[in-house]
Amino acid sequence: MRLTLSVIKADIGSVGGHTKPSTRMMAAVEGAVAKAICDGLLIDAFVCHTGDDIAIIMTHTRGEGSSEVHQLAWKAFLAATSVAKTSGLYGAGQDLLVDAPSGNVRGAGPGVAELSFDHSLSGTRPAESFMVFAADKCGPGAYNLPLYLAFADPMYCAGLMLPPMIKGFRFHVIDMDNTAGDSVIELDAPADGYHIAALLRDNERFGIDRIVSRTHGEVAVAVSAQRLHAIAGKYTGKDDPVAIVRNQGIFPAPEEIVSPFAKAHFVGGDARGSHVMPLMPVPINTPVTGMYCLPIVSCTGFSIDKDGRFSESFTDFFDNPAWDEVRRRAQRKAIEMRSQGWSGAAMLPYSELEYGGFRDTVSSLLKRFQVRKERKPEAAE
Ligand code: 13P
Ligand code: 13P
Ligand code: MG
Ligand code: MG
Ligand code: MG
Ligand code: MG
């Protein structure tokens, strides 16, 4: 069976400020998704939130970019938006940027990550397991560094030295500033590792779109690397990416995939999408309530049975005391960075500030600058 994993995620409103979706909003999405399973559109699905972003994780056989699957997600988000509006919640419908997308919702606001594979539970994949990363309060390239380390650096993934992975992985890197369409370059790790790094260091412009096994041609990773401003024509918010990562066997093991997140690396995002702050790994369904407004990331794991259904259980990777240490490190890094306030590297450059108002403030001041008249030398006495 050709199976597709689709993760579609949107921020459509939250309680008490931008913290978390309401219980009724979650129920609205879950209801729409349960109906789609009953109707046979989806094989299985799981709904969770990270901060105030709701993710729908789905299996089906309709392929990537299926308008039926995308429309289902859109309608589920519309139902939750209507709950958010009725309840007077903050930012109701925030990520639904167009009135009614005709098919695929990619480019309409929600984050979309999808990949497909032949699902036979034999050959290179006697068992199929995967993880889903979902982030809130951060920029689209938040996974650039951790995914590079997991799929291209044996210091993080010693499994890369094993025969099924030793030829490395092909990175599809997308230029998110290109508004003409998806502009992608394919580069092979390890041979092109430095070229890949040269692009991925710019988290706001370049993002990993896909990672593919060079030995088996199987897709390992799909990321929702797209910028909302490239969609809306103006800056409408940070782009809080989602990623699907298949694991084990011909791919890195879960611990090799999550270990780079122990860095709590700095990303663009945080309060008003305008600061440079550490990415804190958190359990799913965590609200954003800590001091500042730290970028957060969750990670769920699933297995898939022969019919494409999720195991009866799921794994919440960052819901483990081992990650408390990393959360403390993230908080310490955050306090250090924020002690610098608005100065220099602590805040994003003007082009990346989520709130256009910061730019308006400076633009209005720029109009008041005057070139000083050349000072005449003082007349000699
Ligand atoms: P198990 O012993 O649970 O199979 O784990 C082996 C392993 O390789 C972990 O990466
Ligand atoms: P959201 O990404 O949840 O909309 O948060 C944006 C923000 O500005 C936080 O201060
Ligand atoms: Mg929000
Ligand atoms: Mg959000
Ligand atoms: Mg956001
Ligand atoms: Mg967002």
> Catalytic residues, which ones?
11, 235, 238
Evaluate whether residue 113 is within a structural domain. yes
Contact 237, 107 (CB under 8 A): no
136 alpha carbon – ligand 6 mean position (Å): 7
256 in helix, strand or coil? helix
Q: What ipTM did this prediction achieve?
A: 0.85
247 in helix, strand or coil? strand
Nearest CA to ligand 1 atom 10: 253
Whether the per-residue pLDDT at 194 is higher than 80: the answer is: yes
What would the pLDDT profile of 107-116 be if each residue is shown by its tens digit? 888 999 999 9
Range of the domain at 356: 2-364
Evaluate whether residue 374 is within a structural domain. no
Evaluate whether residue 70 is within a structural domain. yes
Whether the per-residue pLDDT at 235 is higher than 70: the answer is: no
Q: What is the mean pLDDT of residues 299-323?
A: 96
Assess whether the C-beta atom of 52 lies below 6 angstroms from ligand 2: yes
Atom from ligand 2 closest to the CA of residue 240: 2
Q: Which pLDDT does position 89 carry in this prediction?
A: 98
The Cα–Cα gap between 142 and 272 comes to 16
126 alpha carbon – ligand 2 mean position (Å): 41
* Lookup: tokens for 56: 């729908």
Backbone angles phi, psi at 119, to 5 degrees: -105, 105
Read off the pTM. 0.95
Evaluate whether residue 378 is within a structural domain. no
* Lookup: tokens for 191: 């041979």
Evaluate whether residue 225 is within a structural domain. yes
Ligand nearest to the CA of 248: 1
The CA-atom distances, in angstroms, between 160 and each of 195, 216, 256 are: 19, 14, 10
Q: Which pLDDT does position 342 carry in this prediction?
A: 95
Q: Which neighbouring-strand residues pair with 185?
A: 173
The Cα–Cα gap between 109 and 229 comes to 10
Whether the per-residue pLDDT at 155 is higher than 90: the answer is: yes
Instruction: Count up the domains in the chain and report the number.
Output: 1
Evaluate whether residue 205 is within a structural domain. yes
Atom from ligand 2 closest to the CA of residue 354: 8
Evaluate whether residue 49 is within a structural domain. yes
Contact 196, 148 (CB under 8 A): yes
Assess whether the C-beta atom of 136 lies below 6 angstroms from ligand 2: yes
Evaluate whether residue 376 is within a structural domain. no
Whether the per-residue pLDDT at 98 is higher than 60: the answer is: yes
Annotation-wise, does 156 bind a ligand? Answer: no
Annotation-wise, does 192 bind a ligand? Answer: no
Q: What is the largest CA-CA distance in the chain?
A: 98
Whether the per-residue pLDDT at 255 is higher than 70: the answer is: yes
